[in-house]
Structure 1
Amino acid sequence: MRRFVLAAGIAAVALAVAQPLAAQGDVDQQLGSVHFETSCNAVAQRRFDRGMRYQHSYWYGPAREVFEEALKADPACAIAEWGIALTYLDNPHNPIPQANLAPGLAAIRRAEALNPGTARERDYVAALALMYADADRLGHGQRIRLLRDAQEALARRYPDDVEAQIAYAITLNTSSDLNDRSYAQQIKGAAILEPLSRRLPRHPGVTHYLIHLYDYPELAANGLAAAQRYAQIAPAAPHAQHMPSHIYTRVGHWQASIDANTASSRAARAEKSVGNALHAQDYMVYAHLQLGQDDAARAVVEDMLLLREADAQAPGLAAHYALAASPARYAVERGDWEAASRLPVRPSPFANAQAVTHVARALGAARSGRPEAAAPDVAALAALRDRLRAANDAYWSEIVAIQARVAAAWVLDAQGRHDEALEAMSAAAEAEDRTNKHVITPGPLAPARELYGEMLLARGRAADALAAFAASQAREPNRFRGVLGAAQAAERLGDRAAAKAHYGRLLALAPDAAARPDVEAARRFVALD
């Protein structure tokens, strides 16, 4: 048994060898309740349902093993091959990992060759085939929209098939335009699942996917009930422990996020899932920093780096993103601009992960008064943006374009070109306001609207800064720097009552943030009366 060394402040967790699936009856009872009707024999049917319990909580390895067991019990069980192909999708909010395309397509072809026993099963296989058959010709966005349309047709054809309705609902989220602020698809998907959640309160997929559908600033409050329920439905699943924190992050419930992701990281380590552990820890770092718990955040960051170095497997996008974002967050959230400027750029096949480090480095150099040192990182952001555009990745190319604008704005500010800087920063904030965060991250490195408020405050425009901080807090509530900025702006305006209220919020948010001098200043201000 191998052990990862944890940094100070984090409890040691041993990596346990996974139990054989046949001996995991206790675990199975902690994954919720699912029934997906098949034409397979009784033993294969039970195993297939078991596989779907794992699958609905994105626990792909065990799900695949159980679907393989269903095939052993019934070699003609074609839908089990569909189940295997489903596991190779990985997280459907992201492109299929390159290494999964060939085995996923092979499983689909085996399912087709077995000639599924019912028209319904054949329809399921045909729908999922759209994600694999033309992967060399069509981009992920095109294929996921084709899958959405096929799942819609399937759901209409089989209105009493609960699994068809659930599958269609989640594709409404995975295929949505993240910049569509009407949330039409998400609202439609939630309308499908909410009645099912009352009928099937222990179905892991229903509750899980409701969280995804509500994972947007304007919708997040609707997801609190699902967030509080999911971890109890499937306590054995690492992803089920993590997912509630998507909603907790949206509404600024930081301690709840820390607790959820501590449990998720522990469960992920037990099954040797480095990617899931790192993803959970990125959310932990973000939450600790909002509470001013800098030592705890640093300990998690150090552990993340040890965990990655100790494991030989190459994690996917979420893990690469976490490894880039968490050290950057630790520097930027604390205003340690010199440390931010020196962050190492980790090798990664993912342009969007590398961009996080480059924007932090550029911010750090510019806000340290060294605009010339930021130039290589600003250029790197432009190159990464162009690389993503060339790959037809409209969402991430726009996110990196916004990061490039943010970096350029602070370089202009450091050069003394303050009016140009404010204009550029305002444009970046407006662009970011039209976007939404991706599921791989708890949020941007620093909200552009919040950064705009900080720039306005530095230029003596306190009233405009207060408005910017209020707008940022509406989308990203209970962020430490946002609350602090609002308090400082109100103080400079001479509005003692408003300043005291904001400083009071800061002290309630981060009562033990001893390492943050701003908290001590807040205490002195509040104590003056």
Structure 2
Amino acid sequence: MIARTRVLLAMLACTGAAHAQEMHDHDHPVPEKLGTVSFPIACAPAVQQPFDRAVALLHSFAFSAAQKAFREVAAKDPKCAMAHWGIAMTDFHPVWQPPLPPATFAEGQKEAQEAAKLQPAAGPDRDYIRALGQLYRADPKLTSAQRTMAYEQAMAVVAGSHPDDIEAQVFYAVALLANASPTDKTHARQKQAVAILAPLFKAHPDHPGIAHILIHACDSAELAKQGLDAARKYASIAPSASHALHMPSHIFTRLGLWDDSIASNIASEKAARAQGDLMGQLHAMDYLVYAYLQTGRDKEARQVIAEMKKLPRLDMTDFAIAYASTAMPVRVAVEEARWDEAAAITPPQGAPESVVAIALWAKGIGLARTGRPDEARAQGERLRAIEARLHVAGDTYWAEQTGILATEVMAWAAQASGNPAGAVALLSDAAEKEDRIEKRPVTPGPIVPAREQLGELLFEQHKPGPALAAFQDALVQAPGRAGALRGAAKATASSASL
């Protein structure tokens, strides 16, 4: 018997995003639909339903809206410890951004300490709050990785102590993903999360957190098919959350289901725009551009970029905003093989160096492909310098990704300089390194996968057999990519004519 009785958050919800938009257009209030969540707490009965709603928002990563909702709970019941737990949880962005920025950490720590002061002597609330305390321990010597690992271990205890508690299982799965290494190609923690969530999804198909985190757990070439049912369902569970409308496209992208991805991100972009969620809007637009390019709808992709350029001044210090706004025009220029356009790309001002690297890569590739290898190598050296600085800063993941970009630029510069063997060696090295690292959720994938580039390089060198093998390998990791499909077709035709 499940200890936490499920409560429907919105009984009169619209049946989909299209109906919600229609209601909005006619100036009627849009019934909210965030999914089915019940999280009984030792607080005043009057705040139970608002607390459930706040948790539902949290499950869909609507962090700002969730924090506002938890603060309203705290205002209605000043003795509610779990309201402060919720506020602190909205400052923890697992999957997206496990390392907590200093200001965000300080805010979360304050709320975690307040929750600890108010916590009951016994019961599930106390266990959740004590686990949270591991994340926000007042020890400056602890690294972010140590904190998230301690939190995962504490949540394993909570989940084990309360096996019938749906929320304990979901938040434990989230903690597992927060510690999943992008270099672990066995996907050990993701598989642990899937083992927890898959049975729960069958039993509780309207719970937003189960579907959402299951999609994140399956966001890899190996596991994507296991996340397809959740991807088909999540948008209808919580259509009032723009992220719920977007998140299915992570699985659609992994499986090359481009029309599904396009529909998902059109809906998400509109919802995020209506809700003033600029990061969510740009994230959906980036995935939309990527999907349009895979279906040959380049005109629509450029229209999305035109709409992006109309947005108010973007905060380029925000990684997610900077990444999406930088990647979109780069994707179009490179995927369309407009090398002069790529060579003219200017790195964004004020953006994190891991984002600047994308623009430098595109510029370097464009210069190499237009016969300017020395200038291309200069961009490669700039990338190497960024790689070194990121390593010093402890940002190992983006340092390695930047190193791969630098190697790709140097490979194409070698090709342009008349060193085909050196070019193949460099690009083969880049492909092998990229194969060992998973992408972050911030991106639908590399602008052009290294192995797909290797296929292009080998084809240019009149080696259709090896080129075909490279394209086929690329399609295993990224099914349905237009460039790899075209390349494989050209290589097949060329081999047949020999």
Same fold (TM over 0.5): yes
Name the CA distance, whole Å, in 2 between partners of 1:128 and 1:387: 32
Counterpart in the other structure of 1:100: 104
Counterpart in the other structure of 1:391: 393
Q: 1:138 to 1:92 in 2, by over 3 A?
A: farther
Indicate the larger mover: 372-381 or 330-339.
372-381
Counterpart in the other structure of 1:206: 210
| Counterpart AA for 1:362 | G
Counterpart in the other structure of 1:56: 59
Q: 1:348 to 1:144 in 2, by over 3 A?
A: farther
| Relative contact order higher in (CA < 8 Å, ≥ 6 apart) | 1
Name the CA distance, whole Å, in 1 between partners of 2:364 and 2:314: 31
Name the CA distance, whole Å, in 2 between partners of 1:329 and 1:279: 14
Contact 1:79–1:116 (8 Å) recurs in 2:
no
Counterpart in the other structure of 2:258: 254
Counterpart in the other structure of 1:333: 335
* Residue 363 of structure 2 corresponds to residue 361 of structure 1: yes
Deviation at 1:196, TM superposition (A): 0.7
- 1:97-496 equivalences under 5 Å are 97-116=101-120, 118-133=122-137, 136-307=140-311, 310-311=312-313, 316-494=318-496
Name the CA distance, whole Å, in 2 between partners of 1:117 and 1:45: 20
Deviation at 1:117, TM superposition (A): 5.5
Name the CA distance, whole Å, in 2 between partners of 1:315 and 1:130: 29
* Residue 34 of structure 2 corresponds to residue 31 of structure 1: yes
Name the CA distance, whole Å, in 2 between partners of 1:313 and 1:348: 9
| Counterpart AA for 1:391 | A
Contact 2:315–2:322 (8 Å) recurs in 1:
no
Q: 1:445 to 1:138 in 2, by over 3 A?
A: farther
SS at structure 1 position matched to 2:117: helix
| Counterpart AA for 2:270 | R
Aligned residues: 475
Q: Report percent identity of matched pairs.
A: 39
Once the two structures are superposed, residues 150-203 of structure 1 have per-residue CA deviations (whole angstroms, 9 ceiling, x without a partner) of 111211122121111111112222211111111111111101011111111110
Contact 1:89–1:97 (8 Å) recurs in 2:
no
Contact 1:145–1:175 (8 Å) recurs in 2:
yes
Once the two structures are superposed, residues 391-429 of structure 1 have per-residue CA deviations (whole angstroms, 9 ceiling, x without a partner) of 222222111111111111111111111111111111111
Name the CA distance, whole Å, in 2 between partners of 1:120 and 1:51: 18
SS at structure 2 position matched to 1:436: coil
Q: 1:236 to 1:289 in 2, by over 3 A?
A: same
Name the CA distance, whole Å, in 2 between partners of 1:417 and 1:431: 22
RMSD value over aligned CA atoms? Answer: 2.1
Deviation at 1:285, TM superposition (A): 0.5
Name the CA distance, whole Å, in 2 between partners of 1:117 and 1:265: 45
Give the gaps of 5 or more residues in structure 1: 1-12, 497-529
Q: 1:230 to 1:443 in 2, by over 3 A?
A: same
| Counterpart AA for 1:103 | E
Contact 1:78–1:117 (8 Å) recurs in 2:
no
Name the CA distance, whole Å, in 1 between partners of 2:268 and 2:138: 35
| Counterpart AA for 2:494 | R
SS at structure 2 position matched to 1:225: helix
| Counterpart AA for 1:493 | S
Q: 1:314 to 1:109 in 2, by over 3 A?
A: farther
Counterpart in the other structure of 1:47: 50
Contact 2:47–2:73 (8 Å) recurs in 1:
yes
Name the CA distance, whole Å, in 1 between partners of 2:380 and 2:316: 28
Deviation at 1:131, TM superposition (A): 2.9
Deviation at 1:445, TM superposition (A): 1.1
Contact 2:94–2:178 (8 Å) recurs in 1:
no
Give the gaps of 5 or more residues in structure 2: 1-20
Name the CA distance, whole Å, in 1 between partners of 2:165 and 2:198: 16
Q: 1:350 to 1:128 in 2, by over 3 A?
A: farther
| Counterpart AA for 1:106 | K
Name the CA distance, whole Å, in 1 between partners of 2:106 and 2:190: 31
Deviation at 1:138, TM superposition (A): 3.5
Contact 1:359–1:377 (8 Å) recurs in 2:
yes
Once the two structures are superposed, residues 105-163 of structure 1 have per-residue CA deviations (whole angstroms, 9 ceiling, x without a partner) of 11112112223453422221222233333585444333222221111121112212111
SS at structure 1 position matched to 2:394: coil
| Counterpart AA for 1:463 | G
Q: 1:312 to 1:135 in 2, by over 3 A?
A: farther
Contact 2:289–2:304 (8 Å) recurs in 1:
yes
Name the CA distance, whole Å, in 2 between partners of 1:24 and 1:97: 36
| Counterpart AA for 2:395 | D
SS at structure 2 position matched to 1:47: helix
Q: 1:78 to 1:254 in 2, by over 3 A?
A: same
Q: 1:75 to 1:138 in 2, by over 3 A?
A: same
Q: 1:118 to 1:179 in 2, by over 3 A?
A: same
| Counterpart AA for 1:114 | L
Contact 1:332–1:360 (8 Å) recurs in 2:
yes
Indicate the larger mover: 156-165 or 346-355.
346-355
| Counterpart AA for 1:26 | P
TM-score after normalising by structure 1: 0.86
Deviation at 1:494, TM superposition (A): 1.5
Indicate the larger mover: 296-305 or 95-104.
95-104
Q: 1:88 aligns with which of 78, 87, 91?
A: 91
Name the CA distance, whole Å, in 2 between partners of 1:405 and 1:248: 29
Q: 1:269 to 1:186 in 2, by over 3 A?
A: same
Name the CA distance, whole Å, in 2 between partners of 1:311 and 1:99: 23
SS at structure 1 position matched to 2:220: coil
SS at structure 2 position matched to 1:172: helix
Q: 1:271 to 1:118 in 2, by over 3 A?
A: farther
Indicate the larger mover: 430-439 or 115-124.
115-124
Name the CA distance, whole Å, in 2 between partners of 1:346 and 1:83: 36
Name the CA distance, whole Å, in 2 between partners of 1:377 and 1:131: 40
